[in-house]
Amino acid sequence: MTAACGEQANEPVDTTLPEAASKPPQKLKSQAEAPKKLASCVGASCRVITGTGWAGIEAGMTVAQAMAASGLQLEYPGRYDEAFADEPARLESCNIHEIRGVGEAVSVFVEDGIVTSLGFGGKGSGSFQTDRGIRIGDSEAKVRKAYKKLREEPDIYSEPPDKKLFHEVGGRGLKFSIVGGKVEAINAGGSSIQYVEGCL
């Protein structure tokens, strides 16, 4: 749940705009710049997924760095806390957390205190999109049009034509889980986008 802001009663409010804010916003030089602008958003209102992460949280950051960069808090306990309660070393080496205020739409994969990827799927995830405009529910054809170079792997839990499509650059990237010809989930970040069963 989102933390409520503290109320401050009877304080004067400055309604003047700073000089920069009073100027009209500058237009982008080209459409090619749009994804960069969108991808720079931070916080719970961000809806743009990149190959490195989301909302200021990037693969390779420590948990503390990710929370400081995004202004968001990981939810504890994590997905595996109960199952591995008697194996604290295993929990330390691998766990999956949700984000406070975002719910199950976004999950954060943490290994040895480092964020290695983020997952998008389930309730509330339909409003998220990649920096090339791909959302949960989009067709496989739309993914292939947006990302020309994709590596394909079978989905071990279902039969073809279900599959996993990977777009990778420099050890980071996106995984699109295609079920019934449509995107069912998106994973973004580093090596753990390759995993098929979480920490198990």
Give the pLDDT band of residue 198 (cuts 50, 70, 90): confident
Higher pLDDT: 113 or 37? It is: 113
Rounded mean pLDDT, 100-114: 93
- Report the alpha-carbon distance of residue 51 to residue 64 in Å, rounded: 20
**pLDDT at residue 2, as a whole number:** 38
Give the global pTM: 0.78
**pLDDT at residue 90, as a whole number:** 87
List the domain boundaries for the chain: 33-194
Distances (CA, A) of 9 to 12, 13, 14, 15, 142: 9, 11, 14, 16, 51
Does domain 33-194 fall under CATH 2.60.460.10? My reply is yes
Rounded mean pLDDT, 144-154: 96
Strands 103-111 and 172-179: what pairing?
Answer: unpaired
pLDDT at 51 over 70: yes
pLDDT at 149 over 50: yes
Distances (CA, A) of 79 to 76, 96, 129: 9, 5, 24
